[in-house]
Amino acid sequence: MDIQADVIVVGSGVAGALLADRLAGAGIDVAMLEAGRRVDRAAALQRFHDALIKTPESPYPPTPAADHPLSHDPDHWYRQSGPDPFKSTYIKVVGGTTWHWLGTCLRNLPADFRLRSRYRQGVDWPIAYDELEPYYLEAETELGVAGDSNEDLGSPRSGGFPMPAIAQTWLDRVMDRALDGTDYRVQATPQARNSVLREGRPPCCGSASCIPICPIQAKYDATVHLDRAQRKGLVLHEETTATFVETGPGGRIAAIRFRRPDGSGGRVRGRVFAIAAHAIETPRLLLNSRTDAVPDGVANGSGQVGRNLMDHPVQLSWALSAEPVWPYRGPLSTSGIENLRDGPFRGDRAAFRIQISNDGWSWPSGAPISLAGDLVSQGLTGTALRRALREQAARHVQLAALMEQLPDPANRIVLDPEARDPYGVPLPQIHYRVGDYCSRGLAAARQVHDEIFSRLNASKIRHHEEFQGAGHIIGTCKMGDDPGSSVVDRHCRSHDHPNLFLLGSTVFPTSATANPTLTIAALSLRAAAEIQRTIRDVS
């Protein structure tokens, strides 16, 4: 059952898919391992429609052989040891979590790469914004990002977006008008969602279910690049779970063991290995691969594998605007407030961006369905019920502030001493704390939300008492120049193993405030160039 190729990629999300497409296009023999199976879009959409509890995972139920966390059940898959619960999740399918992402494609700011130098917080990245900018531009073209090329979002550009921006909603326009003259700027959000017909995929038709599934694939998912890569020669092995990384002479990776649901298994061998299995599954695999030669696990000579787990903890706030804003239509967010992402305040508290949400009170309360139940419980029926439902749902406003979180070595993934998956690999045990820096940012966000709601003359203002997960799992295999304090170098190559690369948000030294997917994509494209050089050097 052994598999062999020049390059072995573990994980079929956006990082692995972009890498495989780029390498296969260069004539390099690539094999990919993916624990999950292909998704039938129509069947997944029906599961979502039928689900009583509609969560990001409801179209993609876990299987015993490809289990994953669930948003509504914090004790499924994760083993939490606190003090705070880690609330972000992922799925295991072909295409990874891009199936249920929102599509937001913001770049990091230049200052995000120099947090320690500028604000004496966190750490600096080993690369600067200018080094990554060409790859950001390339990633926007690859993913198909719609955006306003004339809008200043704080990240200098060397070229325009490949598509015009997705149209802003009536809510965005009301918000923009209400905030005119304040410090808060409403700006169109760049997103990997077709605004026009592009490469055989249709433009967005406003299905309002971006999370968890786009019915027509107007929103990008990684199967776009997987399909391209397969046409170029990629061999994709579905339902094939990597369980152990083997090291050989000179610290080189020799093979990766795998298992399948039918009980079969084997080894996959190559010249270069790239693990792109997310910021929880990647350290889980590396830590499970202990031997006498690597007693702390693969790539863990620094002791940093699994450490510095981060998210973008969310302050969720909602209110009833004075005038109708007509939510519950179109993409779940088309605009945001981005000019709060940097400033001297970062020396004391977290920066954040504000997502202006088009899905009303759906996230915090389950509206509009729950609203109908509330009104019925108040005794409304018939015409009075319909009138009240229409009048209130039309005025639902929700803001989500996505918070910067500092790296903390105590926030980490370790292997649970007891619970194991069907293949014998220990489940991830999570030690997590939001931290004071982030908590002060959450408090600042509540104040800003109050100011915004006051400009809307809003009533029934609510702030969620607990932070929410953004679905952005960051850190655990830090990038850095010092092998003693980081896991990979500036090209995402392991310091310990010259033919091992780690891809994805797992390598981020800090979280910044931008949704991470575009930076993941840019780093993967940059790593692809280094892997091609590596293949040439050993040929």
Domain total of the chain = 1
d(CA 162, CA 501): 29
CA dihedral 454→455→461→466, nearest 10 degrees, is: -100
What single-letter amino acid sits at 405? Q
Active site residue 472: yes
3-state secondary structure of 381: coil
Query: pLDDT tens digits for 252-306?
Result: 999 999 999 999 999 999 999 999 999 999 999 999 999 999 999 999 999 999 9
The domain in which residue 49 lies consists of: 3-538
Name the active-site residue from 278, 449, 472, 497: 472
Sole residue written with tokens 């977290």: 350
pTM equals: 0.97
Closest C-alpha among 247, 286, 240, 235 to residue 265: 240
Residue 66 CB contacts under 8 Å (≥ 6 apart), including other chains: 35, 36, 37, 92, 93, 239, 241
- The H-assigned helical ranges of 264-360 are 278-288
pLDDT of residue 536: 82
Query: pLDDT tens digits for 426-442?
Result: 999 999 999 999 999 99
d(CA 478, CA 304): 7
d(CA 257, CA 222): 24
Residue 500 CB contacts under 8 Å (≥ 6 apart), including other chains: 245, 253, 272, 273, 274, 275, 298, 299, 493, 494
Q: How would you write 77-95 as a 3-class SS string? A: CCEEEEECCCCCCCCCCCC
CATH code of the domain in which 152 resides: 3.50.50.60
- Partners of 314 in the β-ladder: 402, 468
- Partners of 104 in the β-ladder: 191
pLDDT of residue 402: 98
d(CA 107, CA 103): 13
| Regions of the chain with pLDDT less than 50 | none
What single-letter amino acid sits at 31? A
The two tokens of residue 334 are 């088309």
CA dihedral 50→54→55→59, nearest 10 degrees, is: 10
pLDDT of residue 539: 56
d(CA 441, CA 35): 37
In contact, 220 and 102? CB cutoff 8 Å: no
- The H-assigned helical ranges of 120-267 are 129-143, 170-178, 223-231
Residue 75 CB contacts under 8 Å (≥ 6 apart), including other chains: none
Q: How would you write 410-466 as a 3-class SS string? A: CCEEEEEEEEECCCCCEEEEEEECCCHHHHHHHHHHHHHHHHHHHHCCCEEEEECCC
Entry field: residues in the chain = 539
**DSSP characters for 471-491?**
S--B-SS-B-S-TTT-SB-TT
